[in-house]
């Protein structure tokens, strides 16, 4: 008489046993296509729907708040909000944004005052920007900028050294690295690995990922939700105040606005003072030649992008603070400036070079103080090139 092992199962039991556990779900090809379609649709619709439901208060003299300088999705939204034929977008770095001044002390504010219209000129500057990053910002997030009048500021600060030009071989951290070209042209001082570069490349091309970055910037202190949750205070021992908070409660559906009072900016700020207040030492610059400058190459490409989109571009060159330059640096600067003006003329790009401001109206090498912006706006408004360009339809 045969015996059966206690661990063996009848053949019928083996045949009836499911190949996967009861908790597994197997999708066929058609079901996977449905899932893919639903996810794709959600990714496509979420950013535009969010734009309709999230409150975004701006008003006259609005500029992207300093804390949201890396919220590129919000910058694109701002351009979509203000792009129309009756407005002039003023593009540039912190000189246009207004590093040392309040929103009502910027170039765009005083251009509006000269024009007698409070919202004609729009502050399209971003703090910490430079040509290589501005090119990426406008190319990927400024696609609504079409058929506009655009004032583009050219700041030669970014050619004062190989380090500023980002063409130095030594690794150098810099602002807005996710906006710069990740693969070509090569940026020698940018040593990010392939994973970081690919992530930045995708983020700038997929609106949903940029929108996720917007949530992090606007509601979670420029951090991912996990890092926000684990953020500690400065106590000893450290505490984790966000550990038990509901992350969804952080999303108020209102874009944070900059505070009315800014201790770092404006006439009442200790930073709002002439560049020579701490000593008037002359500065020498290791200028980068135009034909080898990465920043100048990006500026040229940016002009091309704007014009290809039907924008009427006016370039304002400087005025850079020549008062602080050593004699040899001053000669090189003027030669460089003349070469830039020659390229603009050859390409039939309207441009102007405003007169140097009085020394006391500069805060540093390129940023005016409040009165400096007022004088600069007056000189631009009175310039014949500007008048002809501004009045041309």
Domains of the chain: 50-391 (3.40.50.1110)
Tell me the sheet residues that pair with 352.
Answer: 316
pLDDT at 113: 97
pLDDT at 19: 57
Tell me the pLDDT band of 1, cut-offs 50, 70 and 90. Answer: very low
Q: Contact, 221 vs 230, CB < 8 A?
A: no
List the beta strands (DSSP E) in the chain: 88-92, 121-125, 149-154, 312-317, 351-352
Decide: residue 313, CB within 10 A, 0-12 exposed, 13-18 middle, 19+ buried: buried
pLDDT of residue 321 exceeding 80: yes
pLDDT of residue 4 exceeding 80: no
Tell me the sheet residues that pair with 149.
Answer: 88, 312
Could you tell me the pTM of the whole model?
0.90
pLDDT at 235: 78
Write out pLDDT tens, residues 115-146. Answer: 999 899 999 999 999 999 999 999 999 999 99
b/e code 220-236 from CB counts within 10 Å (16+ = b): bebeebeebeeeeeeee
| Count of H-run helices and E-run strands, the chain | 14, 5
The residue with greater pLDDT, 150 or 28, is 150
Q: Rg (Cα) of the chain, in Å, rounded?
A: 27
Write out pLDDT tens, residues 275-313. Answer: 999 888 899 999 999 999 999 999 999 999 999 999 999
Q: Among 76-90, 232-246, 336-350, 354-368, which stretch is predicted with the lowest mean pLDDT?
A: 232-246
In the chain, what are the helix, strand and coil shares in percent, each to the nearest 5? 45, 10, 45
Quick one: tokens of 102? 């309040």
């Amino acid at each position: 008489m045969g015996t059966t092992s206690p661990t063996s199962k009848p053949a019928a039991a083996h045949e009836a046993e499911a190949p996967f556990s009861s908790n597994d779900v197997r999708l066929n090809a058609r079901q996977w296509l449905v899932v893919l379609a639903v996810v794709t649709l959600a990714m496509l619709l979420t950013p535009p729907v969010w734009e309709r439901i999230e409150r975004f208060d701006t008003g006259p003299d609005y500029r992207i708040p300093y804390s949201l300088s890396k919220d590129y999705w919000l910058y694109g939204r701002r351009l979509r909000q203000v792009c129309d034929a009756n407005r002039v977008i003023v593009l540039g770095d912190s000189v246009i944004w207004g590093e040392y001044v309040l929103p009502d002390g910027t170039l765009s504010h005083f251009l509006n005052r000269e024009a007698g219209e409070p919202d004609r000129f729009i502050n399209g500057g971003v703090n910490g920007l430079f040509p290589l990053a501005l090119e990426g910002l406008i190319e990927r997030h400024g696609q609504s900028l079409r058929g506009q009048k655009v004032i583009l500021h050219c700041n030669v600060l970014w050619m004062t050294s190989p380090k500023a030009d980002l063409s130095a071989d030594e690794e150098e951290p810099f602002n807005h690295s996710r906006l710069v070209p990740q693969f070509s042209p090569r940026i020698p001082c940018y040593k990010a690995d392939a994973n970081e570069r690919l992530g930045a490349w995708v983020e700038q091309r997929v609106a949903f990922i940029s929108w996720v970055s917007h949530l992090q910037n606007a509601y979670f202190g420029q951090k991912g939700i996990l890092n926000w949750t684990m953020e500690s205070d400065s106590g000893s021992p450290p505490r984790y105040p966000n550990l038990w908070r509901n992350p969804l409660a952080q999303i108020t559906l209102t874009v944070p606005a900059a505070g009315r009072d800014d201790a770092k900016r404006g006439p009442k700020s200790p930073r709002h003072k002439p560049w020579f207040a701490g000593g008037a030492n002359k500065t020498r610059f290791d200028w980068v030649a135009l034909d080898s400058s990465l920043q100048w190459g990006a500026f040229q490409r940016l002009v091309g992008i704007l014009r290809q989109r039907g924008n009427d571009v006016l370039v304002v060159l400087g005025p850079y603070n020549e008062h602080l330059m050593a004699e040899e640096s001053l000669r090189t600067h003027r030669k460089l400036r003349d070469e830039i003006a020659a390229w603009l003329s050859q390409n039939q790009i309207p441009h102007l070079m405003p007169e140097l401001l009085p020394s006391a109206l500069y805060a540093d090498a390129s940023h005016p103080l409040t009165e400096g912006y007022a004088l600069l706006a007056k000189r631009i408004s009175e310039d014949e090139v500007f008048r002809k360009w501004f009045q041309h339809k």
